[in-house]
Amino acid sequence: MRLFDSTKIPLLGKALDVYSLRQKVMASNISNITVPGYKSQSVSFEEQLAAAEKNSGAVRGAATNPKHLSISAATDIRDVQEKVYDTSEDKPEGYNELASGFNDVDIDYEMAELAKNQIRFRFGSRLLGDTFKGIQKAIRGSV
């Protein structure tokens, strides 16, 4: 067992990784706004995280023999993977941005999502910093 596995540090670290990936994907969408036929992309993580949280309280069984059946496989946050996907899957049926010779990047949507992502990243990094400050205070005995 790792030292900080029972804290929120792994979750916050993973969240910051996802926010960083989202930033890159949105920057790519914005930079390709004038490229005909470019399909915008997005990052999906919340669904996988919700499934992991659902299993996180599960009882973990210890197998003393390789032939034993596993009782429960509680998901480790480090095992939850984000998914970059083509947002054309989210478009309504009959939507055809390529007929006009352009692409499906909506600059207003991308800029709004970019701002939300920046706020989330700042909040997550502040929480992570506060967690480390609390650990530092505990080590120094000044809690």
Tens of pLDDT, residue by residue over 13-38, are 999 999 999 999 999 999 999 888 88
Give residue-wise pLDDT tens across range 91-126. 655 555 554 457 888 889 899 999 999 999 999 999
- Considering the entire predicted model, what is its pTM? 0.72
**Half-sphere exposure at residue 46, Cβ-oriented, CA atoms within 13 angstroms:** 2
* Residue 143 DSSP one-character state: -
CA distance 117 to 20: 9
Band of residue 128 on the pLDDT scale cut at 50, 70, 90: very high
Q: H or E element: which one contains 2?
A: none
81-89: average pLDDT: 80
Q: Tell me if residue 4 falls in helix, strand or coil.
A: coil
Cα distance between residue 35 and residue 26, in whole Å:
15
CB contact at 8 A, 24 and 42: no
Question: What average pLDDT does this structure show over 56-75?
Answer: 59
Between CA 109 and CA 114 the distance in angstroms is 8
**pLDDT at residue 99, rounded to an integer:** 47
